[in-house]
Chain A
Amino acid sequence: MPCVEKSQYDLCVEVLRRLDRAGVLKNVVLVGSWCTLFYKDFFGRTKYMVSLKTRDMDLLIPQPSAIKEKTDVAELLKDLGFVVGFTGSEGYVRLEHPLIIIEFLVPERGRDSDKPYPLSQLGLNAQPLRFLDFLVQNTITTKVGATTVTLPHPANFALHKLLVLTRRPSPEKQIKDKEAAMRVLTALIDKGQDNLITDVFYTIPRRWQTKVKKQLTDLTDKKILDVLSAHKPTTTTAGQ
């Protein structure tokens, strides 16, 4: 696997393998910047450059109530050197290792709240965030080592990044996220899947569509903007 330190990749493989064996991974969708790394397999021969990513590995649990078995995730990964850390004034749990930091997310429903969502079955808590349901609307799977991992479809990933861009706290993060989104969208177009971007785009509410389009103001964004504007949605659904 290119673009990542071998030891970091090996640790990632081991973490995912353990989560899979413990029956946790089937309830998880890997989101965040690590996706851009694993999309390399999805794009195959299409030219695609992996974006700058941090150590943070975000694990989204779309349906926390679906987790029935009790698994102490911190204990599961303890002997690999992971320690439990807390972030933010709210105390979101994260599992820290010099090579990977694992954070847990759940879709935020109802009123805005910064309160951590308790994941008692996993002995953790998660950060609730808006618009995460959109990420799991269409998913793909990929192999990481011998483990099958679920990721958001690249079209959903990229459009979600554009959708939440203004919610990012720092302008640098906004630039980084936009760049990641543009790389994925450009690769999708180069792969001949521009119809798919349009299909996904038209599944989101009009207000969200406007928000996405508002982010595409640069001259270099024209290609993407054309895809979003020119096509009418087909009847096919986004999938693998």
Chain B
Amino acid sequence: MKVIKSVLKEELANSLAMKRNYESQLARLPKGSLVKKKIKGHEYYYLVVREKGEVRFVYKGKQPGDKEIQKYKQAKEYRAKYRKLLSEVKKQIKFLESALRGKEPV
């Protein structure tokens, strides 16, 4: 039993470290999402960001450049991926904590 408990403890420590790591990776990603708006037949790019609970559109020009478009596209993909994995890690933590707690009171 002690062996199983030590493995679970090790895995819990790993999951806690991983949670911090995913959170910091998420914080490092460029904020916002690049959107294309069509106004009077012309296309304009805006960066949509949420600041203090409000959605803001920041004008980025008619053609921001492939590199910038790619940057935000990739950030969007990684954000979705990291959030999914972070939620998985949180579930693991919850499970491991409850397994280690056993019959002890919450």
Contacts and interface: CB of A to CB of B under 8 A. Distances in A.
Interface in B11-68: 11, 14-15, 17-18, 21-22, 25
Contacts of B92: 98
Interface residues of B, number: 23
Given A98-B89, A172-B2, A173-B6, A85 B17 contact: yes
A85 B81 CA distance: 17
Contacts of B11: 54-55
A81 interface: yes
B3 A172 contact: yes
Contact of A98 (B5, B15, B77): B15
B12 to A, nearest CB: 11
B22 A83 contact: yes
Interface in B53-106: 77, 81-82, 84-85, 88-89, 92
B71 to A, nearest CB: 15
B25 A83 contact: yes
Contacts of A175: 2-3
A231 to B, nearest CB: 31
Interface residues of A, number: 21
Nearest to B86: A98
A55 B12 CA distance: 11
A67 B89 CA distance: 34
A176 B25 contact: no
| B3, B77, B81 — most chain A CB neighbours (10 Å) | B3
A170 B13 CA distance: 15
B21 A85 contact: yes
Nearest to B84: A81
Contacts of A191: none
Contacts of B18: 83, 85, 96, 98, 101
A87 B77 CA distance: 27
Given A52-B4, A83-B25, A85-B18, A98 B10 contact: no
B10 A179 contact: no
A176 B15 CA distance: 20
B21 A172 contact: no
A171 B5 CA distance: 12
A95 to B, nearest CB: 10
Interface in A70-87: 79, 81, 83-85, 87
B85 A179 contact: no
Contacts of A83: 18, 21-22, 25, 82
25 contacts: A55-B11, A55-B14, A56-B14, A81-B81, A81-B82, A81-B84, A83-B22, A85-B17, A85-B18, A96-B17, A98-B15, A98-B88, A98-B89, A98-B92, A101-B14, A171-B2, A172-B2, A172-B3, A172-B5, A175-B2, A175-B3, A176-B3, A176-B6, A176-B7, A179-B3
The 4 closest A-B pairs by CB, nearest first: A172-B6, A98-B88, A81-B85, A85-B21
Given A84-B21, A171-B2, 8 more contacts: A54-B14, A56-B14, A81-B81, A83-B21, A83-B22, A98-B89, A170-B6, A172-B7
